[in-house]
Amino acid sequence: MASEEESVSLPTRQRRNKQQLTKGMEHMRGYVTIDTPQAAGEDAYGVPATYEPIRKAATDSQDNPQKRSDPFQFGTRYLEEGDDIFAHNAWDHVEVDPQYSEFIEQQTIFQRENQVSDFDKKRFSDKPEKWWDRFYGNNQANFFKDRKWLVQEFPILGEVTRDDYGPVKVLEVGAGAGNTAFPILAMNQNPHLKLHACDYSKKAIDIIREQPTYQNQTSSTLQADVWDVAGSELPPGVEAGSVDVVLMIFIFSALSPDQWPTAVSNLFKLLKPGGEILFRDYGRGDLAQVRFKKGRYLDENFYVRGDGTRVYFFEEDELRDIWGGRSPSDGTVVVTEDEHGTASHDSFDIVNLAVDRRMLVNRQRKLKMYRCWMQGRFRKPQTDRTQPAQVP
């Protein structure tokens, strides 16, 4: 059977071996794959491989099908006393031990003491989209990742792509090269689905538009446009109050904290009452954060990668504040003004928000990598019943 990866026509570019990926691709690989950092016995990205995770008490888990089957189901494989860490590729909800937490603390102090110069802070923040343009320009490699987890984690996406679902508008923000949009398009059976894929990198949008799958659409289900979620305009062809579902996959972390309120306000404006944001992004203490070395720290939990792109690592309460319309620093109510000077307080209901902690294991090289992602659904309150969103 053709894999999901083969069933879409993206990319048309040459595949490269893992070892041959350019340096700039490294961080993209990190959140969807099990990486192979260094030689056997060495540390993973400077994180000592000897740290031991906390285990739960042993159960009769020998009979637990999640420990026997592969591929595993998210969220159900717990590391218990007596389990061989290297028997599986990943363990769910793994808590790091105090020794590792201490290591994170030390590493953070080191990063803070060796921060980016003021000159470079300005350089990386002035026109952040140009660094992403460069990223997509440099990486003529395989952008497509296996996104089978999308529908598993966000069942709404399965619903809205059903043939009998009816008219529905989905907006993907920070769509990049279409790693999420194309799989959705490939599984779509709904003739009334409209999928807007937006990104502020023109280069990324060009890549989407160049794909035969995009160009050969008969019903123009997918429309890709350049748009800055933290800018002063709405996306081309998308009206206020017209969107049912917003998809944000590892994009909010690319914004600087001072852009959060505008981005939240824009999305609030775009969504129908009852419409939802599907969110997944980096969590505090993720390996990607811990491994940053000298000259990468921009601000607390905010870094610049080697390729000039920026990344923030979130705490659960912080996200509850941001999407709930409060300032994460002092809890005060955030009020934003649009270009006409109209003030609004944009507060989403947190339908759910969870920390996804996993330990990924490189079985061959016997390495353990602690990953931490945040995942949630944020709903615009149902105040206006005249035009409810099509969210199941």
- Of residues 292-351, which lie at the interface with ligand SAM (CB under 6 A)? none
Compare residues 45 and 86 and give the one whose CB is closer to ligand SAM. Answer: 45
Compare residues 171 and 229 and give the one whose CB is closer to ligand SAM. Answer: 229
Task: Identify the three-state secondary structure at position 268.
Answer: helix
Cα→Cα distances 322→262, 266, 356, 380, Å? 11, 13, 19, 13
Report residue 235 CA to chain centroid gap: 20
Query: Closest Cα to residue 268, out of 380, 169, 375, 378?
Result: 380
> What's the CA angle centered on 359, arms 355 and 360, to 5 degrees?
125
Verify binding: residue 290, ligand SAM, rule CB under 6 A.
no
Query: Closest Cα to residue 310, out of 258, 233, 357?
Result: 258
Cα→Cα distances 194→91, 150, 156, 214, 237, Å? 37, 18, 15, 13, 11
- Of residues 87-146, which lie at the interface with ligand SAM (CB under 6 A)? 132
Verify binding: residue 243, ligand SAM, rule CB under 6 A.
no
| Total of residues contacting ligand SAM (CB under 6 A) | 19
Compare residues 32 and 87 and give the one whose CB is closer to ligand SAM. Answer: 32
Residue 358: CB minimum distance to ligand SAM, A: 17
Distance (Å, whole) CA 236 – CA 241? 14
Residue 261: CB minimum distance to ligand SAM, A: 13
Q: Contact, 177 vs 136, CB < 8 A?
A: yes
Tell how strand 297-299 and strand 349-362 pair up: unpaired
Residue 249: CB minimum distance to ligand SAM, A: 4
Verify binding: residue 200, ligand SAM, rule CB under 6 A.
yes
Compare residues 214 and 250 and give the one whose CB is closer to ligand SAM. Answer: 250
- Of residues 175-194, which lie at the interface with ligand SAM (CB under 6 A)? 175-176, 179-180
Verify binding: residue 154, ligand SAM, rule CB under 6 A.
no
- Of residues 268-287, which lie at the interface with ligand SAM (CB under 6 A)? none
Verify binding: residue 221, ligand SAM, rule CB under 6 A.
no
Task: Identify the three-state secondary structure at position 140.
Answer: coil
Residue 126: CB minimum distance to ligand SAM, A: 13
Task: Identify the three-state secondary structure at position 297.
Answer: strand
Residue 252: CB minimum distance to ligand SAM, A: 9
Residue 319 CB contacts under 8 Å (≥ 6 apart), including other chains: 279, 353, 374, 376
Q: Which of 229, 267, 298, 304 binds ligand SAM (CB under 6 A)?
A: 229
Q: Which of 228, 244, 286, 321 binds ligand SAM (CB under 6 A)?
A: 228
Verify binding: residue 245, ligand SAM, rule CB under 6 A.
no
Q: Which of 77, 160, 182, 199 binds ligand SAM (CB under 6 A)?
A: 199
State the greatest distance between any 2 C-alpha atoms of the chain, in Å, as a whole number.
Answer: 63
Which residue reads 């940053």 in tokens? Answer: 292
Residue 364: CB minimum distance to ligand SAM, A: 26
Residue 50: CB minimum distance to ligand SAM, A: 31
Q: What is the contact surface with ligand SAM in residues (CB under 6 A)?
A: 132, 173-176, 179-180, 199-201, 204, 228-230, 249-251, 254-255
